[in-house]
Chain A
Amino acid sequence: MYTQSITRTHRTAFILLIDGSGSMSERIRFAGRAMSKSEAVTDITNGLLFELIERARRNDGVRDYYDIAVLGYSGNDEVYSLLPGTQPMHSVTELAALEPQVRRRTIECRQPDGSIALREVPTPVWVEATAAGQTPMYEAMRQARDLAAAWCAHPAHAGSFPPTIFNITDGEATDCSEEELIAISEQIRTLGTSDGNVLLLNIHIAADDTQRTVFFPSEEETDLPNRYASTLYRASSVMPAIFNEAIREAKGPGALPPFRGMSYNASLDELIAMLNIGSISVKTE
């Protein structure tokens, strides 16, 4: 299980669910700049899209290794694709052909002596930040479940590495109870291909680093900070063994698998680590 390499005939899918509720407008500092959490998460998402496109690029063009959906959720049960087009799921080839806007961004580079240098660099932008309203996470999960089910049901994907869903939020669902959230998560995690079940990673991000963080917890780390962290733990997939090395590297050598695909009060750097581990650790042709 979870052994299928990603190739053009065995592509995989990534579905990102991004909380766009009002609390995501809270100001934080990321990469040397003050910005909203929403802006930071979209920055990171654009970085992931860039990584996936470049990993699929060969001298004959971008190859269809991945299908990608990016859904935002906010307002009153509003779930919407953050990528252009009428269909939420895009092949990486389509995504590369979208010709994203390229904006000049100031980035912070730390030098060996500790000083900071600022540089302006061009950065491609596929998705834009939004932050308003409530947190209809259940509805987002439901749509992700339907997308993943349709993808897994396609005969061409029968033997593929299963889809991975990243749910990025800073709060609690406002459209369901905790039990309903766990139930829809279980529905997602029972979907799959012959290579394994759909992976669901729940990433709860914090506004600052003063709170206790839970990051890819192992079974020994049952002392979760509160009830909601426990809910996210139960709603998340157990990470397959192929991710263990990368997770142990991120957590430290003492960490013992199996690990749960969740974080609570994660920093944005931990969010980046989770996205990278969940996406590029899988062997691509």
Chain B
Amino acid sequence: MVATIQTFTRALQTPDLSFRTLGEARPVLDANGLPRLMRTTRFAEAEISWQGRRWLLALPLSPAALFTLERTLQQMARCSSPWLPECRLLRGEMSWYGPTGTPRSYDLLLQLLPEGRSFDEALCCEGGERLVEELDALQQELRRLNLCHGNLRRDNLRWTGRRFVPIRFYDAGVGTPERDDAAFDTLRQEVLRAAGIPGVSDVEADYEAPGRWPGHRWVSNLFEGMVCVEDETGYGYVDAENRPVIASQYLWAGDFHEGRAEVQTAEGMGLIDRQGHYVIPPEYEIVSYVPAESVSHVRQNGRWALFDYLGRRISPFVEDGERLGVWAEA
């Protein structure tokens, strides 16, 4: 059963009772104390604060909305790019009871809302040439990543002080990055039109948080005492004191949850434990670990199977539409 916006609103009002991992999230409220919502064609969205950062939490308005995004999210997760905000698909995140008292759960999409300014604010405080350069840089980066945002416009860009970071990847897709070309042209024209307006600030702000784990090309956050980092040799893990724990060797790696982390090698994706030992060998197209259920959803040749915490396959590989049981539950 598809969750309603009313159910989503109730969950935002009672996060500790309704969300699995976002129990401490706080939604942005309107003057009446109701969560402030926004809708796209296929998602309803609320802004929340969680773990000291701001996020967009999105409810798919149909199961198909997420199926079409899934491959893109996997691709984004593998990319190491400061132009891409953190996006997570939270399996079974929202729980409630259906009309007949049956427990229900539903997947939600969590996207980091980068610190910084809106596009319109950036127009007021940055030079037009600089902004056009950064739009060019973003366009090149999306081409390099072979990603298409699909809905680039003023509201869907954040200015971090260094670059534009796109948000709301609801219409994104892998391949055909040229689909964004017309949107980039429009944005450049908007910047140039506004360029004649005098700036209100000549001070270039740096909105990047100072690094706690220096010396790496990129760092994630501390999860279970481990920090995922990217070095010249690839992705790996350091401890809270920035000491190497698992050598930087992967094409991509995810954060640790319940002692497990997804990693990508040239041979495929796998799952490792805290010692760096493979629990699921790196030979699959996708390995998506769900900490709340202690299972991994694993894709091979386009078919999906469930693996348990110890890496044992517990279901046969089946076609996409039958996978997971997530939608069947929901």
Please give me the residue from chain A that is nearest to B95 by CB atom: A112
A117 at the interface (CB under 8 A from B): yes
Is A220 among interface residues, defined by CB-CB distance under 8 A? no
Q: How far is the CA of A63 from the CA of B164 in the complex (A)?
A: 29
A55-B14 contact given A124-B34, A269-B99, CB 8 Å threshold: no
Q: Which of B5-13, B107-115, B125-133, B298-306 contacts A (4 or more CB under 8 A)?
A: B5-13
Alpha-carbon distance between A181 and B1 when the two chains are bound, in angstroms: 33
Q: Does B37 make an interface contact (CB < 8 A)?
A: yes
Given A109-B18, A122-B33, the answer on whether A249 and B41 have CB atoms closer than 8 Å is no
Q: Mark B29-64, 1 if CB is under 8 A from A, else 0.
A: 000111001111100100000000000000001000
Partner of A57, one of B13, B32, B37, B155: B37
Inter-chain contact B14/A58, CB cutoff 8 Å: no
Contact between A117 and B4 (Cβ–Cβ < 8 Å)? no
- Residue pair A54, B39 in contact (C-beta under 8 Å): yes
Mark interface residues in A117-160 (1 if CB within 8 Å of B CB, else 0).
10101101000000000000000000000000000000000000
B17 at the interface (CB under 8 A from A): yes
Complexed CA–CA distance, A216 and B97 (Å): 21
Chain A residue at minimal CB-CB distance from B39: A57
Considering the chains assembled together, what is the distance between the CA atoms of A54 and B5 in angstroms?
7
Contact A110 B5 (CB under 8 A): no
Q: Judging by beta carbons under 8 Å apart, are B13 and A119 in contact?
A: yes
Q: Mark A263-278, 1 if CB is under 8 A from B, else 0.
A: 0000101101100100
**What distance in Å separates the Cβ of B81 from its nearest Cβ neighbour in chain A?**
26
In the complex, what residue of chain B is closest to A270 when comparing beta carbons? B99
Expressed in whole angstroms, the Cα–Cα distance for A58 and B41 within the complex equals 9
Interface residues of B in 72-125 (CB under 8 A from A): 95, 97-101, 103
Interface residues of A in 65-117 (CB under 8 A from B): 102, 107, 109-112, 117
**Which residues of chain A come closer than 8 Å to B101, judged between CB atoms?**
110, 269
Docked Cα-Cα span, A111 to B95, in Å, equals 9
Query: Given known contacts A47-B6, A273-B99, is B155 in contact with A121 (CB within 8 Å)?
Result: no
Using Cβ atoms and an 8 Å threshold, which residues of chain B touch A2? none
CB distance from A205 to the nearest CB of B (A): 13
Chain A residues with CB below 8 A from B155, complex form: 59
Note all chain B residues with C-beta closer than 8 A to A102: 32-34
Does A50 make an interface contact (CB < 8 A)?
Answer: yes
Q: Determine whether the beta carbon of A58 is less than 8 Å from that of B99.
A: no
Is A179 positioned at the interface, with any CB of B under 8 Å from its CB?
no
Q: Closest approach, in angstroms, between the C-beta of B100 and any C-beta of chain A?
A: 6
CB of A121 within 8 A of CB of B4, answer no
Find out whether the CB atom of B14 lies under 8 angstroms from the CB atom of A119: yes
Q: Choose among A59, A112, A121, A272 the residue that contacts B99 (Cβ–Cβ < 8 A).
A: A272
Identify which of A58, A109, A117, A267 contacts B39 (C-beta below 8 A).
A58
Name B62's closest neighbour in chain A (CB-CB).
Answer: A283
Contacts known (A54-B39, A57-B39); A269 close to B100, Cβ less than 8 A: yes
Q: Give Cα A121–Cα B41 distance, bound, in whole angstroms.
A: 27
Among residues 131 to 177 in chain B, which have CB atoms less than 8 Å away from a CB atom of chain A? 155
Q: Which of A56, A107, A272 contacts B10 (CB 8 A)?
A: A107
1/0 contact string of A217-243 vs chain B (CB within 8 Å)? 000000000000000000000000000
B contact residues around A109 at 8 Å (CB): 14, 17-18
**Are A54 and B14 in contact, CB atoms less than 8 angstroms apart?**
no
Chain B residue numbers with a CB within 8 Å of A110 are: 97, 101
Query: What's the Cα separation between A50 and B9 when bound, in Å?
Result: 10
- Bound Cα distance from A110 to B1, whole angstroms: 18
When A109-B17, A122-B33 are in contact, do A55 and B99 touch as well, CB less than 8 Å? no
Partner of A249, one of B1, B4, B10, B34: B1
Contact A119/B17 with A54-B5, A55-B5, A273-B99 known, Cβ cut-off 8 Å? yes
The yes or no answer to A207 lying at the interface (CB within 8 A) is no
A112 to B5, CA, bound (A): 22
- Among B17, B33, B38, B61, the residue within 8 A (CB) of A117 is B17
Contact A51 B6 (CB under 8 A): yes
Residues of A within 8 A of B1 (CB): 249-250
A54 to B45, CA, bound (A): 10
Which residue on A lies nearest to B45, using beta carbons? A59
Interface flag for A183 (CB, 8 Å): no
**Cβ B97 vs Cβ A51 within 8 A:** no
Within the complex, what minimum Cβ distance (angstroms) separates A50 from chain B? 6
Contacts of B4 in A (CB 8 A): 51, 276, 280
- What separation, in Å, do the CA atoms of A50 and B5 have in the docked complex? 9
Kindly state whether residue A26 has any CB partner on chain B within 8 Å. no
13 pairs, A vs B, C-beta closer than 8 Å: A51-B4, A54-B44, A59-B155, A102-B32, A110-B101, A111-B17, A117-B14, A119-B13, A124-B32, A249-B1, A267-B99, A273-B99, A276-B4
A47-B6, A57-B37, A58-B38 are known contacts; what are 10 more A-B pairs with Cβ within 8 Å? A50-B5, A50-B9, A54-B6, A107-B14, A112-B95, A117-B14, A119-B17, A122-B33, A269-B98, A270-B99
Q: Which residues of A contact B (CB under 8 A)?
A: 47, 50-51, 54-59, 102, 107, 109-112, 117, 119, 121-122, 124, 246, 249-250, 267, 269-270, 272-273, 276, 280, 284-285
Query: Which 6 A-B pairs rank lowest in CB-CB distance, beginning with the nearest?
Result: A269-B99, A102-B32, A122-B33, A54-B5, A121-B13, A109-B17
